[in-house]
């Protein structure tokens, strides 16, 4: 991260999407009332309040204090994690308070499906761990919203998880290329072979992977089948409508995708 007060933009490979970080600046909000759309990423119970880590449009991630706990909580379900709504906030000189929340989308369909819920909980947890308070990331918020919409529409959580992880890494400019060998630049499509080697830089073609193995490289992170690499490419890079059409007919992902998903998150966690 750069010094205090500096802002910079990283353009991803998708071109249209860019994210701006404002690192280390706190608090970003001026004193007084504010309104913003977003969701609760994480909630902690304190003695007389709930402490909410909110992810808000135009504000990024912020901690807000919601007075009252348990039965004395006057915000009802509005302070539940993964609840999307319009949050009314008050910034005092010392802290940010929640004044009210109007729930817009509770995503009940996700909460009713263990597989879907697991994916959404992972996304919120990863974001809560990675977002710095004060870092604006509206493109990432849009990605989360679209992913949860697709999840509640019944699209496979594993495909959506890969799409979410890769596109998040892409917004931060650190996504692995999915179409070429990260070592020699050869097109993976034309390189042939039944498997591709995952490394901390991206995929390796068969020749480079063989060389890396011979030299005892410690950067070999598992293999992904060629058909699965094709599916990852589609899941990650198809535009929205094309993705929804493709995902509706795609075969249910195999267990190998779990390793692929962990590999994708490793890029975000390496930042
Ligand atoms: Zn290669």
Residue range 68-97, pLDDT digits in tens = 876 667 888 888 999 999 999 999 999 999
DSSP symbol at 106: -
The rounded Å distance from CA 191 to ligand 1 centre is 8
The rounded Å distance from CA 187 to ligand 1 centre is 8
Distances (CA, A) of 173 to 10, 139, 176, 238: 6, 13, 9, 18
The rounded Å distance from CA 224 to ligand 1 centre is 15
Query: H/E/C letters for each residue in 6-62?
Result: CEEEEECCCCCCEEEEECCCCCCCCCEEEEEEEEEEEEEECCCEEEEEEEECCCEEE
CA–CA separation, 137 vs 61, rounded Å? 8
Q: Which of 161, 1, 127 is nearest to 56 (CA)?
A: 127
What percent of the chain stands above pLDDT 70?
88
CA–CA separation, 68 vs 46, rounded Å? 9
Residue range 151-209, pLDDT digits in tens = 999 999 999 999 999 999 999 999 999 999 999 999 998 877 888 999 999 999 999 99
Q: CATH 2.40.50.140 residue ranges in the chain?
A: 29-154
pTM for this one? 0.86
The rounded Å distance from CA 246 to ligand 1 centre is 29
Considering only the top CATH level, what class is 29-154?
mainly beta
């Amino acid at each position: 991260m750069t010094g205090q007060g500096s802002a910079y933009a990283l353009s991803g490979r998708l071109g249209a999407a860019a994210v701006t970080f404002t690192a280390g600046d706190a608090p970003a909000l001026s004193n007084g009332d504010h309104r913003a759309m977003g969701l609760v990423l994480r909630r902690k119970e304190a003695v007389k309040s709930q402490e909410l880590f909110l992810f808000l449009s135009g504000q990024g991630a912020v901690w807000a204090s919601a007075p009252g706990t348990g039965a004395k909580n006057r915000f009802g379900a509005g302070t539940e994690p993964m609840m999307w709504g319009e949050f009314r906030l008050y910034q005092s000189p010392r802290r940010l308070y929640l004044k009210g929340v109007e729930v817009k989308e509770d995503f009940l369909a996700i909460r009713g499906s263990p597989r879907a819920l697991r994916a959404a909980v992972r996304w919120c947890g990863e974001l809560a761990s990675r977002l710095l308070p004060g870092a604006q990331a509206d493109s990432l918020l849009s990605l989360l919203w679209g992913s949860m919409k697709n999840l509640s529409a019944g699209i496979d959580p594993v495909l959506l998880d890969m799409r979410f992880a890769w596109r998040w890494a892409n917004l931060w400019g650190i996504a692995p290329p999915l179409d070429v060998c990260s070592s020699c630049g050869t097109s993976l499509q034309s390189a042939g072979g039944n498997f591709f080697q995952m490394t901390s830089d991206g995929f390796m073609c068969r020749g480079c992977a063989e060389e890396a193995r011979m030299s005892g490289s410690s950067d070999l992170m598992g293999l992904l089948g060629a058909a699965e690499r094709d599916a990852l490419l589609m899941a990650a890079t198809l535009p929205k409508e094309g993705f929804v059409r493709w995902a509706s007919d795609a075969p249910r992902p195999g267990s190998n995708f779990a390793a692929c998903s962990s590999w994708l998150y490793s890029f975000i966690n390496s930042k």
